[in-house]
Amino acid sequence: MSSAPLRALAPANDPAFANVWDELVWRGLVHVSTDADALRALLGGPPATYYCGFDPTAPSLHLGNLVQLLVLRRIQLAGHRPLGLVGGSTGLIGDPRPTAERTLHTKELVAEWVDRLRAQVERFLSVEGDNAALLVNNLDWTAPLSAIDFLRDIGKHYRVGTMLKKDAVSARLNSDAGISYTEFSYQILQGMDFLELYRAYDCVLQTGGSDQWGNLTSGVDLIHHVEGTSVHALGTPLITNSDGTKFGKSEGNAIWLDAEMCSPYAFYQFWLNTADGDVIDRLKVFTFLTRDEIEEYARLVEGEPFRRAAQRRLAEEVTTLVHGSDATAAVIAASEALFGQGDLSALDPPTLRSALEELPHAEVPAGTGILQALTATGLASSLSDGRRAITQGGISLDGARVEDESVTVTGTLPGGVSVLRRGKKTLAGLFVTA
């Protein structure tokens, strides 16, 4: 990820909403919750402490986590204090998936991922002011606890019948994989987290995805049993596409927030390709644009969908939030240059290379003939097909029309690459080796 902090972008809640709860509801971010009236009063009242947890099950957070990060930020902008929990202990156990047991990673690898995720979470929250965010690790209070103390002090408050009814557990019990005692115990660990944060920081709200509702209410119930008081939970909806496909994946791969795992160019293109039927909902969830601004984009989608103004704004806003304004400007320049609206030679090498990796591409030695390059990238089905395309004036290399088949590839663009074009819109990349 870019090192540029989010707070430099000065995101703000929509002043049209007097209470951040009402804005969360309008943005479609409240799928399930404890008492809605009590939550609205809490979020409209004096500063309160709240938290969301992120387990290090991978070296980076992804778009599903970004929903939670922005919810944390919106509530912080309303004056409340966020705790960002990175699960050094729960990450060693694994939240039960609906279909199969998670692979247990080594303690050393999980510790490394904790550090990476902590840095990502911290970028999205302000660590300054009276309601400065605090980053916590549940391994700090779980590791010193003996098994006997855990069973006596925490486990005695849980009823197995209630635990069996949790959606994630019941799904696994009804699957061929079953569920291990390790993953069955996950909800107890998460409940203990909420209890610990309540005691240490007077934390009274946990947020998370609605698929985590059983784990969220585990903490609510535990605090009620142990402390005799009521706390709150808020579950955001799972984001899905209007066509029924799963949101947050591109060609089967997760969209990660780490630039090394998903380049800023690929990230930007993912948002740019949002369907008309989804783009307004995405603007509500993933940007800080106001209701008036988003309603104006809704009118543009309805009246002038071919301009894709909403998609361009969405891609620019979210890429800037995650990767910073400099990276966003670079990928926009690359997109425009690839399609003939800018200077390819002026692009920075990493951005150009990452852009070409998203296109059909091939690695070829310097001096490769243009016909071989066309067939290697799939822009021509055969050498004769390539000759016809050249004769018809339909091939360009690095922005210059190819006049005859004697042209060779030299990789003159930044980073030792070349760009092939057939017609107006069919592109391919060449990674040229010495």
List, for residues 197-227, the tens digit of each pLDDT value: 999 999 999 999 999 999 999 999 999 999 9
Between residues 375 and 93, the one the model is more confident about: 375
Of 141, 137, 133, 142, nearest to 83 by C-alpha is 133
What is the torsion angle, in degrees rounded to the nearest 10, for the CA atoms of residue 4, residue 8, residue 66 and residue 243?
Answer: -100
Which of the residue ranges 25-29, 112-116, 151-155, 196-200 would you say has the lowest mean pLDDT?
Answer: 151-155
Q: Which amino acid is at 432?
A: V
3-class secondary-structure state, position 405: coil
3 pLDDT exceeds 50? Answer: no
Q: What percent of the chain has pLDDT over 90?
A: 81
Cβ contact 409:397 at 8 Å: yes
| Residue-wise DSSP of 332-369 | HHHHHHHTTSS-GGGS-HHHHHHHHHTSSEEEEETT-B
Cβ atoms of 31 and 210 within 8 Å: the answer is yes
CATH architecture of the domain formed by 249-347: Orthogonal Bundle (1.10)
CATH 1.10.240.10 placement within the chain = 249-347
Residues 6+ apart with CB under 8 A from 156: none
Q: What per-residue confidence (pLDDT) applies to 168?
A: 79
Is residue 81 within 8 Å of residue 132, measured between CB atoms? yes
For residues 309 and 428, what is the distance between their CA atoms, to the nearest angstrom? Answer: 26
Band the pLDDT of 10: cuts 50, 70, 90.
confident
Residue range 389-434, pLDDT digits in tens? 999 999 999 999 999 999 999 999 999 999 999 998 899 999 999 8
- Condensed to tens digits (0 to 9), the pLDDT of residues 321-348 reads 999 999 999 999 999 999 878 899 999 9
Give, in words, the CATH class of 6-236.
Answer: alpha beta
Report if pTM > 0.85: yes
| DSSP one-letter string for 145-178 | --HHHHHHHTGGG--HHHHHTSHHHHHHHTSSS-
Distances (CA, A) of 75 to 43, 202, 206: 8, 16, 12
Query: How far is it, in rounded angstroms, from Cα 32 to Cα 237?
Result: 8
Q: Where in the chain is the domain with CATH 3.10.290.10?
A: 359-433
Q: Using the 8-state DSSP alphabet, how is residue 251 labeled?
A: T
For 221-236, what is each residue's pLDDT tens digit? 999 999 999 999 999 9
- In this predicted structure, the answer to whether residue 50 has a pLDDT above a threshold of 50 is yes
Biggest alpha carbon–alpha carbon distance for the chain: 83
Instruction: Note the pLDDT of residue 9.
Output: 52
Is there a contact between 267 and 255 (Cβ–Cβ < 8 Å)?
yes
Residue intervals in the chain for CATH 3.40.50.620: 6-236
For all residues of the chain together, what is the average pLDDT?
A: 93
What is the tens place of the pLDDT at every residue in 12-41?
999 999 999 999 999 999 999 999 999 999
Of 3.20.20.80, 3.40.190.10, 3.10.290.10, 2.40.30.10, which CATH number belongs to 359-433? 3.10.290.10
Q: Looking at the predicted structure, is the pLDDT value of residue 103 above 90?
A: no
Q: Answer yes or no: is pLDDT of 162 > 60.
A: yes
Q: What is the mean pLDDT of residues 293-309?
A: 97
Check residue 5 and give its pLDDT. 40
Contact 375, 422 (CB under 8 A): no
What mean pLDDT comes out for the span 87-93? 93
